[in-house]
Amino acid sequence: MPSTLTESTDPYCLRSGEAAELLRGHPWRRFVALGDSVVEGMCEPTPGYPDVQWVDRIAAELTGVRPGLAYRNLGRRGLRAHQVRASQLAPALAFAPDLALVVCGGNDAFHPAYDADAVDEELTAMISALRGAGADVITVGMFDVSHSPAVPEHVRAGLGQRMRRLSAHTAGLAERLNTVHVHLTDHPLTADPTLYSTDGRHGSARSDAIAAAETLRRLSTHLNPPR
């Protein structure tokens, strides 16, 4: 990445005024986010990019179009999918959202014993409950963190396989349960080292800016489906 590149010049980030145009007239008034550290926000600072994590970015842009939007972020680091469901689904439903974001399973996939079907069950339960309560639900296939330079070489291949399996399973659930799905796993920059933090588990401020842009663009497609 050139040292002069910033969010305002990054071709994969939002242009000035783009978010307002993408979200023009959006109907959402109550936005809740459930998940692990990806949702809580663990991005590593990147020169030229504001240190604002991606779910907060989404909430800010939604609020910019509809002032007064209520937002609650329930994300907590280190949780596996069953822990997210156990600790966050009830308060999320009590918040009465009309828009929810659910991202988890990454901590499960970091382990060689990753049980994809068990994670699917947890995601299905959360998505179904939120959809049943009347909320639109955003799901995400995250960037493949196995490309991070901080991931040890001997675990890279296995981790990549598991992260891609999680992404594929989540995409399948999204289609079946009719979510607004954001697929980042095959983004053109998924193997770019600038997207990842030095801890080998999380993203950089650049990745959060790109993820926010892709999420808003996907929400716009949901609001204005192609004819």
Residues 74-94: tens digit of each pLDDT: 999 999 999 999 999 999 999
* Three-state secondary structure string covering the chain: CCCCCCCCCCCCCCCCCHHHHHCCCCCCCEEEEEECHHHHCCCECECCECCCCHHHHHHHHHHHHCCCCEEEECCCCCCCHHHHHHHHHHHHHHCCCCEEEEECCHHHHCCCCCCHHHHHHHHHHHHHHHHHCCCEEEEEECCCHHHCCCCCHHHHHHHHHHHHHHHHHHHHHHHHHCCEEEECCCCCCCCCHHHECCCCCCEEHHHHHHHHHHHHHHHHHHHCCCC
Question: What angle in degrees, to the nearest 10, is found between the helix axes of 116-132 and 81-94?
Answer: 0
Q: Which amino acid is at 209?
A: A
- The domain spans of the chain are 18-223
- State in words which class domain 18-223 has: alpha beta
Q: What pLDDT is recorded for position 1?
A: 43
Phi and psi dihedrals of 52, rounded to 5?
-130, 125
Q: What pLDDT is recorded for position 199?
A: 87
Q: What pLDDT is recorded for position 145?
A: 93
Burial class of residue 122 (count of CB atoms within 10 Å of its CB; 0-12, 13-18, 19+): buried
Q: What pLDDT is recorded for position 200?
A: 82
Q: What pLDDT is recorded for position 3?
A: 53
Neighbouring residues of 182: CB distance < 8 A, sequence distance ≥ 6: 138, 139, 140, 141, 211, 214, 215, 218
First to last CA, the chain: 37
Dihedral sign for Cα atoms in the order 100, 126, 122, 161: negative
The residue ranges of the chain whose pLDDT is under 70 are 1-3
Residues 154-188: tens digit of each pLDDT: 999 999 999 999 999 999 999 999 999 999 999 99
